[in-house]
Structure 1
Amino acid sequence: MAGNILRAVVFDFDGLILDTESTLYGTWVETYARFGCELPPDLWTANIGGYSYETFHPLDHLEECLGRPIDRDAVNNARREVYRARVRVQPPMPGAAEAVRAARDLGLRLGVASSSERSWVAGHLERLGLLPLFDAVVCGDEVTRVKPDPELYRAVLDTLGVDARAAFALEDSPKGVAAARAASLYCVAVPNPVTRVMDLGGADRLLPALDAMPFSELVRDIEEHLFRAL
């Protein structure tokens, strides 16, 4: 069992449990290359944590690079087909499945807070055999505002029946970290290959990977930190 302080852990999904972010960026890089263009990572990272393309739209930028319009639907549909085919067989991030099972073994309640749609998140969690281990899964199509707004995290905590002071979050992006902290959760940032270049300084702690240390030790360290803050 976990100690007397922590009762729950809330996981992000894309880029933390399943590295869809590197795969997604890769398909856009390949799409650009077919047109003889490049997609710099510093432009792409503006979207991470939401992928609404409101900050940076890769098709807009591709047309700017080419100086002409393209058949946007055809280009994106072809890219999307490759992306979905790759993700469909993608394994979880190193240490992700083990962290989920370890959290359950510790007696923690488990949640997922994701800006993606429920069908996407639940479908992949089920494929990976992890869905039954979670007590609450709240997704972007079930709330009014997605990350960096804290609504997703607050909804998960409400479903779990756990106070934010008795939970912690695992996130991979600045938007996710901001959402977790705005919901008053202790937040551990775990970067993936794409978000590793981003500023995750808003997190309470940086962990290089989910398999960087035993999950039980991470929980113990967080509880010790929270106890000192009481």
Structure 2
Amino acid sequence: MMDLPESLRSVRALIFDFDGVIVDTEWAIFQTWSELFARHDVELKLETYAQCVGSDHDAWDPKAHLEELCGYALDWDAVLPEKHAASRRLMAGQGVMDGVVEWLDAAQCAGLPVAVASSSSHEWVHGWLTKLELRERFVSLSCRDHVERIKPAPDLFLHAAAQLEVDPAAALVIEDSANGTAAAHAAGMRVVAVPNRVTAHQDFSKAWRRVGSLAELTLADALEPVGR
């Protein structure tokens, strides 16, 4: 284990969001929703759709929004399987997002345990991490199956901190969405925000740092203000 620089000593663990942070799944999902809206001659604005990113359709429901715009009900049992299949085809070739592996390597060298806290299902997150040969890099996965409330509630991050056996204030979160950032902030955690093309317009004023990509800076550089 390497000696921690002064800037890292107040941080005891890292907690990653999954969708949009480790793998860029969110753009494909938005694209297929947008295409579905277009087939019904209505527009899905990115800013409108992004309300549910990092959370679920209780935060904002694209199905209800589409029916409201087009003025009639849809047979979702027929529509959704086709839409989900289209999303999976677009995601099929996705790899790990830039900088993630380097951050995981740096955390390992620094002796910092790492977890995932995701509003997606355990099956989804575990399946992707296994496919990407990253599952063993994470001590635990905290997913929607494990808590009563998902983001923007703090439950997922508090669950992750408990699994890592660290005080929430000693965990640093990597997030891409306003819902996730609000959840981490409510849990008493600091956030490095890494917005993507779906969430770049959102408010990240509660984040500790904001970067365009994890590849832009090292873990130590990202944490430089921590503990000052």
Superposition TM-score, scaled by structure 1 size: 0.91
The residue aligned with 1:214 is 218
Question: What residue identity is the alignment partner of 1:200?
Answer: F
Once residues 56 and 126 of structure 1 are traced to their aligned partners in structure 2, the CA distance between those partners, rounded to angstroms, is 30
| Aligned equivalent of 1:158, options 162, 167, 173 | 162
Shift of 1:216: 3.1
Q: Secondary structure at the match of 1:168?
A: strand
Q: 1:139 deviation in Å?
A: 0.6
Partners of 1:12 and 1:56 in 2: CA distance = 20
Corresponding position of 1:69:
73
- Match for residue 175 of structure 1? 179
Question: What pairs with 1:36-75 in structure 2 (closer than 5 Å)?
Answer: 36-51=41-56, 53-75=57-79
**2:188 match:** 184
Gaps of 5+ in 1: none
Which letter does structure 2 place at the counterpart of 1:14?
D
Q: CA deviation at 1:164?
A: 2.3
Match of 1:92 among 89, 96, 99: 96
The 2-side partners of 1:176 and 1:125 are apart by 20
How far off is 1:199 after superposition?
0.8
Q: Residue in 2 aligned with 1:227?
A: 227
Q: TM-score, normalised by structure 2?
A: 0.91
User: Does the 8 Å CA contact 2:209/2:222 hold for their aligned counterparts?
Assistant: no
Which stretch shows the higher mean deviation, 100-109 or 199-208? 100-109
Q: What corresponds to 1:115 in structure 2? A: 119
| Identity percentage of aligned residues | 38
Counterpart in 2 of 1:23?
Answer: 28
The aligned amino acid for 2:206 is G
Which residue, 132, 135, 142 being the options, matches 1:138? Answer: 142
Contact 1:106 1:216 in 2 (8 A): no
* Unaligned runs of at least 5 residues, structure 2: none
3-state DSSP of counterpart to 1:39:
coil
The partner residue of 2:11 within 1, 6, 27 is: 6
Asked whether the 8 Å contact 1:15–1:192 carries over to 2, the reply is yes
* Cα RMSD for the two superposed structures: 1.5
Specify the SS of the correspondent of 1:98.
Answer: helix
Distance 2:99 2:113 in 1: 18
1:35 aligns with 2:40: yes
